[in-house]
Amino acid sequence: MVPEGELSPAQLRHVFGVNLRSLSAGARSISVLCRELGINRTQYNRYLNGEAFPRPDVLYRICTYFDVDARILLEPLDRIQSVQRTGAIGEISHLLSDLDMLDIPPQTLPEGAYLHYRVSYFVPTDISCTLLGFYRDDHGVMRLRGYMPYASSDRIGLPRAAAARRFRGVVFRQLKGFSFILSMERTPLMVLGGFEPSYLGQENFYFGRSVSTQDVLSSTPILLQRLTPSLAAMIAVRDKIGIHPRASYSPLIRSYFDKHHPV
User: pLDDT (tens digit, 0 to 9) for every residue of the chain, 263 residues total?
Assistant: 434 445 677 877 888 888 888 888 767 788 888 988 899 999 999 999 989 888 888 888 887 787 776 665 555 555 544 444 444 444 555 555 555 677 788 888 999 999 999 998 888 899 999 988 998 887 788 888 888 888 888 887 877 777 778 888 889 888 889 999 888 876 777 889 999 999 999 999 999 999 988 776 678 999 999 998 877 877 788 788 889 999 999 999 999 999 999 88
pLDDT at 86: 42
φ, ψ for residue 203, nearest 5 deg: -65, -20
Task: Please indicate, yes or no, whether residues 74 and 102 belong to a single structural domain of this protein.
Answer: no
Domains contained in the chain, number: 2
Task: Please indicate, yes or no, whether residues 62 and 173 belong to a single structural domain of this protein.
Answer: no
pLDDT at 203: 92
Instruction: Provide the domain limits for residue 138.
Output: 92-260
Please tell me the distance from the alpha carbon of residue 167 to that of residue 162, in angstroms, as a whole number: 10
Decide: 153 and 141 in contact? Cβ < 8 Å. Answer: no
pLDDT at 146: 87
pLDDT at 153: 81
Task: Please indicate, yes or no, whether residues 79 and 119 belong to a single structural domain of this protein.
Answer: no
pLDDT at 233: 79
pLDDT at 87: 42
* Residue type at 214 in one-letter notation: Q
Among candidate residues 53, 69, 85, the one where a domain is terminated: 85
Kindly state whether residue 128 falls inside one of the protein's structural domains.
Answer: yes
Among candidate residues 53, 68, 85, the one where a domain is terminated: 85
pLDDT at 70: 61
Decide: 22 and 68 in contact? Cβ < 8 Å. Answer: no
pLDDT at 94: 55
List, in sequence order, the alpha helices (H) in the chain: 9-24, 30-37, 41-48, 56-66, 77-85, 88-96, 150-156, 162-165, 231-236, 251-260
* Residue type at 45 in one-letter notation: N
Among candidate residues 53, 85, 117, the one where a domain is terminated: 85
pLDDT at 98: 53
Domain with residue 68: its CATH number is: 1.10.260.40
Task: Please indicate, yes or no, whether residues 176 and 206 belong to a single structural domain of this protein.
Answer: yes
146 sits in which H/E element: strand 142-147
pLDDT at 78: 57
